[in-house]
């Protein structure tokens, strides 16, 4: 085990070979596993009960049964319908069966759209900026970088009002340019554009770009490539891990967003899933706990699926942000 070299053995274990040649039971080790498994239980216990409760009848939830008597799959159908999570309307020509129109709506669809726009926009904006900070020399580089970083300190609540006013004003401007479709308020621009230039993403990418060896750049320059070319054909293919982290984080971020969407959406057309779920629980179905659990499970599943796919790079990426300065 590689960790034996760097790792710190528990005191009991370290002394064990000297005092007793063959320890029958390693108590320290058992204690460690006991604590760690207790941690696992606490971490995922609420999820397990959430899944279990989502299949129960209401009275079973109220009595806190551990497992449902029958699996009530219809809870999910009801939750999907009542919470307006996902509606797919397929209209096809009754005579020929040819698909005529496909209408998708609902909070999940909204969140997916918002996520896609946010993540794409964020990558387009942050990658060049991070590259410039990491690999180019220009006047005022450190000053601008410090300025960018300082905005991370400002609490969101201070930004809320100016953002709202800016969004309303820019929305008016773009409405006069593009007509009603260009509105910002209660439309995708208000929900996505303010989050394109994420300082955290720029920081994450910069940390990675700095580590790319200079030899690669020298070789590319001799071959006649400039910075844009080098970025696209050498740096980006090497940066799958941080980009994956950013995509995952962006997904989680838009799935979590509650405060800002509460302010800038007034109907279901672009309202994301967190607002939908929150309304479903606090306003629509105050008593239907089993439906609330089903709706929560539906909300959690896409995030968990993404997490299990990307978990290795993602956890590494997050861990890196904590120790590099």
Partner 1 sequence: MLNTRRGRLFKENLTAYLFLAPAGILILLFGLFPVAFAFFVSLHRWRRFPDSYIGLANYEKALGNLGYILFFWLALLVLAVGLRVIRQLSKSLRRFELKRQVIPLLAGIVCGYAVLLAVDWFFKLIPVIMLIPRQVRGQNVSLELFMEKFGESFSNPGVYPAGNLMLAGFLAAAAALALAAWRFRSESCGAVIVRSGMATAALLSAVFLLRLTLDETNLAIAAARDSGESLPIWSQLVFVSAGIFLIASAYIIFQRGIRAQSNRRFALLVFSGLSLAVGGYLLMAEAPAALASADDDLLQGFWVTIMYAGGTVPVQLAIGLLLAYLLFQPIRFRSFFRMVYFIPYITPFVATSIVFRIIFDAGKTAPANRMLAIVGIEPQRWILERSSIGSLLGLPDFLAGPALALIVIMIYSTWTYIGYDAVIFLAGLGNISGELYEAARIDGANGWRIFRHITLPLLSPTIFFLSLVAIIGTFQAFTQIWILRTGAVGSKVNTASVYIFDELQNSNRYGYASSMAFVLFALILLMTLFQNRIMGRRVFYG
Tell me how far, at minimum, the Cβ of 81 lies from partner 1, in Å: 18
Tell me how far, at minimum, the Cβ of 89 lies from partner 1, in Å: 26
Tell me how far, at minimum, the Cβ of 41 lies from partner 1, in Å: 10
Tell me how far, at minimum, the Cβ of 290 lies from partner 1, in Å: 10
Tell me how far, at minimum, the Cβ of 184 lies from partner 1, in Å: 11
Sign of CA dihedral 46, 49, 55, 56: negative
Nearest residue (CB) to partner 1, 132 versus 270:
132
Q: Which residues, in sequence order, are CB contacts of 265 under 8 Å at separation 6+?
A: 186, 191, 271, 272, 275
CB-based contact 148:201 (threshold 8 Å): no
Nearest residue (CB) to partner 1, 90 versus 258:
258
CB-based contact 284:148 (threshold 8 Å): no
> Could you identify the residue written with the tokens 């009002």?
161
Tell me how far, at minimum, the Cβ of 72 lies from partner 1, in Å: 16
Q: Find, among 240, 208, 236, the residue nearest to 324 by Cα.
A: 208
Tell me how far, at minimum, the Cβ of 242 lies from partner 1, in Å: 15
Tell me how far, at minimum, the Cβ of 48 lies from partner 1, in Å: 10
CA–CA gap between residue 154 and residue 144 (Å, rounded): 17
Nearest residue (CB) to partner 1, 11 versus 98:
11
Tell me how far, at minimum, the Cβ of 270 lies from partner 1, in Å: 17
Q: Find, among 207, 213, 294, the residue nearest to 246 by Cα.
A: 207
Nearest residue (CB) to partner 1, 83 versus 91:
83
CA–CA gap between residue 87 and residue 82 (Å, rounded): 11
Nearest residue (CB) to partner 1, 116 versus 164:
164
Angle at CA of residue 261, ends 300 and 199, nearest 5°: 85
């Amino acid at each position: 085990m590689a960790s034996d070299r760097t790792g710190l053995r528990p005191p009991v274990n370290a002394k064990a070979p000297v005092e007793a040649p063959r320890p029958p039971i390693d108590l320290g080790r058992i204690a460690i596993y006991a604590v760690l498994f207790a941690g696992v239980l606490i971490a995922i216990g609420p999820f397990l009960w959430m899944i279990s409760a989502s299949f129960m009848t209401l009275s079973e939830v109220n009595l806190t049964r551990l497992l449902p008597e029958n699996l009530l799959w219809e809870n999910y159908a009801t939750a999907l319908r009542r919470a307006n999570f996902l509606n797919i309307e397929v209209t096809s020509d009754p005579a020929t069966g040819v698909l005529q129109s496909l209408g998708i709506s609902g909070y999940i669809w909204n969140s997916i759209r918002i996520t896609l726009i946010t993540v794409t926009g964020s990558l387009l904006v942050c990658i060049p900026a991070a590259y410039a900070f990491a690999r180019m020399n220009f006047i005022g580089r450190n000053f601008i970088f410090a300025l960018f970083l300082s905005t991370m300190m400002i609490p969101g609540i201070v930004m809320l009002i100016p953002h709202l006013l800016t969004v309303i004003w820019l929305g008016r401007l773009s409405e006069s340019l593009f007509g009603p479709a260009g509105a910002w308020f209660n439309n995708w621009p208000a929900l996505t554009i303010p989050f394109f230039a994420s300082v955290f993403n720029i920081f994450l990418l910069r940390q990675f770009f700095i580590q790319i060896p200079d030899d690669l750049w020298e070789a590319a320059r001799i071959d006649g490539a400039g910075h844009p070319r080098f970025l696209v054909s050498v740096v980006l293919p090497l940066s799958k891990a941080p980009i994956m982290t950013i995509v995952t984080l962006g997904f989680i971020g838009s799935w979590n967003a509650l405060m800002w969407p509460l302010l800038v959406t007034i109907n279901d057309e672009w309202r994301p899933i967190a607002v939908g779920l929150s309304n479903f629980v606090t306003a629509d179905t105050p008593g239907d706990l089993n439906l609330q659990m089903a709706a929560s499970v539906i909300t959690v599943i896409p995030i968990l699926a993404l997490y299990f796919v990307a978990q290795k790079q993602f956890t590494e990426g997050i861990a890196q942000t904590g120790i590099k300065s």
